[in-house]
Amino acid sequence: MLNNFIDLFMESAPWMMLGLLIAGLIKECIPADFLARHLGGKGFKTTIKAAFIGAPLPLCSCGVIPAALGLRRNGASKSATTAFLVATPETGVDSVSVSYALLGPFMAIIRPIAAIVSAIVAGLLVGKEEQLYEQHKAKEHANQSGNASCCASEKAPVVTESVKSSSCCASEKAAVATESVKSSSCCASEKASAATESVKSSCCAGEKASSASDSVLSSCCESEKITTAEPVVKHKSILSKLSSGVTFAATDLVRDISVWLLIGLFFAALVKTYVATDFLAQWGDSIWAMLAMVLISVPMYICATASTPIAAGLLMSGISPGAVLVFMMAGPATNVATLGVVYKELGNRALAAYLVGVIGMSLVFGALTNYLVAEYGFQVAPLSAMDHALLPNWLTIGSSVLLAALMAKVFWQKAQQRLFS
């Protein structure tokens, strides 16, 4: 089992290091307000954009939650928030590279495609639910308002004598005000001043008209005096961005994935050593295997990268590639913490749409994967099981040693924090 663990670690190490480097550069090169600027709205295009932006980001199941909450608080729609919340933990540049090493090129291609499509579908379902809810609230508001008009209604309260003496919508003062406003310029004249006074005297446009005219006058006449001081933005050099990205990847990202990655590799080695290859083959390509993967993955709090070695272990035990894909899609996106956030921020109806979109598309792509593998003979296996080696030994060994050193440093820092805390 130790030999199998070392083999799996060495197979995944070069691709893990490549994924960490790319993820660090993406994190460093994307501005802080990029997500809020591009996803802070509603519509079909925003949902698609959220899925494509979230897919390559180096955020796991825990890191995507505060990012998605920030988008929602900055005005992002429910559909865009959902698409980002699904696509980001389901895939990423680091998980794709590890998928290539442990599951082969076919799974490395279909995995991000399935993640993006499931994110878009889930976002559109939640957005449709939001639209229906808004229409329902609008109908209720219309029914409550009834046929009440602005100036007169049978249900209107008794007005004072001073208001009765003048008409609300059609009086001589309002007419004079209208003519004076039409004939006056926007900025400053005696006619505009008189128009403003007459508008103030009408019963329907009191303080609001005064404040509106004041704001118009100030914005129109004093616009030349306003000077906007543009903030001075200091752009980082390429070397500085590269250094910051490498530092982020070697510290924060390694800290986030180390524990679960080792657990996944241990599970894969355990299965490879002690479980017969045909043990789960009886469930191999059936819908029951996919549903079992859904039930297993929902309570797990695991990111896309760490789920890949576990998926490789399941594949070795006889589970079909489609069921493995279901596990890698449903696991990161349907953990208990994420579902709790969806329920709290988006509502129970949105939570139901979220689950239907994620689990439904996972099953669809699982069945599609099994069909493509059976029909066209795509190989789904670790690189070591293939006929040729893609990387030289020195690169594999060097990447393994470097990754092991970074993980050991992270564990040492955690031990020191617990010791002195």
Whether 228 maps to a domain, the answer reads no
Amino acid letter at 285? D
Hey, what are 67's tokens?
A: 């990012």
Q: Which of 86-95, 130-139, 235-244 has the highest mean pLDDT?
A: 86-95
Whether 21 maps to a domain, the answer reads yes
Distances from the Cα of 334 to the Cα of 82, 255, 297, 323, 330, angstroms: 12, 22, 7, 16, 6
Q: Is the pLDDT of residue 134 over 70?
A: yes
Q: What is the mean pLDDT of residues 174-184?
A: 40
For the ranges 11-15, 91-95, 152-156, 289-293, the lowest mean pLDDT is seen at 152-156
Confidence of residue 179 (pLDDT cuts 50, 70, 90): very low
Whether 235 maps to a domain, the answer reads no
Question: How many domains does the chain contain in total?
Answer: 2
For the ranges 55-59, 103-107, 283-287, 388-392, the lowest mean pLDDT is seen at 388-392
| pLDDT > 90 fraction of the chain, expressed in percent and rounded | 20
- Domain with 351 in it: 2-135+247-420
Residues 183 and 62 in one domain: no
| pLDDT > 70 fraction of the chain, expressed in percent and rounded | 69
C-alpha dihedral (82, 88, 91, 93), degrees to nearest 10: 150
Look at residue 325 in the predicted model and tell me its pLDDT: 94
Residues 10 and 55 in one domain: yes
How far apart are alpha carbons 307 and 300 in whole angstroms?
10
Confidence of residue 244 (pLDDT cuts 50, 70, 90): confident
How far apart are alpha carbons 388 and 3 in whole angstroms?
20
Residues 211 and 258 in one domain: no
Residues 175 and 302 in one domain: no
Burial per residue of 343-372, b for 16 or more beta-carbon CB atoms within 10 angstroms, e otherwise: eebbbeebbebbbebbbebbbbbbbebbeb
Is 326 in contact with 335 (CB distance < 8 Å)?
no
Whether 154 maps to a domain, the answer reads no
Instruction: Identify the CA nearest to 369 among candidates 306, 414, 408, 319.
Output: 319
> What is the model's pTM?
0.64
Write down which residue in 221, 238, 262 finishes a domain.
221
Q: Is the pLDDT of residue 253 over 60?
A: yes
Whether 236 maps to a domain, the answer reads no
Look at residue 131 in the predicted model and tell me its pLDDT: 80
Residues in the chain: 421
Residues 79 and 198 in one domain: no
What are the residue ranges of helices labelled H in 236-376? 238-248, 254-274, 287-297, 304-316, 321-333, 336-346, 348-376
Whether 314 maps to a domain, the answer reads yes
Residues 204 and 258 in one domain: no
Residues 6+ positions from 114 with CB-CB distance below 8 Å: 90, 325, 329, 361, 362, 365
Residues 171 and 217 in one domain: yes
Look at residue 132 in the predicted model and tell me its pLDDT: 80
Whether 240 maps to a domain, the answer reads no
Distances from the Cα of 119 to the Cα of 18, 34, 54, 90, angstroms: 25, 19, 9, 9
Look at residue 381 in the predicted model and tell me its pLDDT: 81
Residues 20 and 91 in one domain: yes
Look at residue 225 in the predicted model and tell me its pLDDT: 41
**Angle in degrees, CA 411, 97, 20, rounded to 5:** 40
Distances from the Cα of 166 to the Cα of 160, 205, 277, angstroms: 11, 13, 91
Residues 66 and 180 in one domain: no
Is 282 in contact with 69 (CB distance < 8 Å)?
no
Query: If DSSP codes are grouped into helix, strand and coil, which group holds residue 61?
Result: coil
Look at residue 367 in the predicted model and tell me its pLDDT: 94
Whether 109 maps to a domain, the answer reads yes
For the ranges 110-114, 260-264, 387-391, 410-414, the lowest mean pLDDT is seen at 387-391
Residues 126 and 190 in one domain: no
Hey, what are 60's tokens?
A: 């796991």
Instruction: Identify the CA nearest to 29 among candidates 225, 174, 240, 192.
Output: 240
Residues 325 and 369 in one domain: yes
Residues 194 and 58 in one domain: no
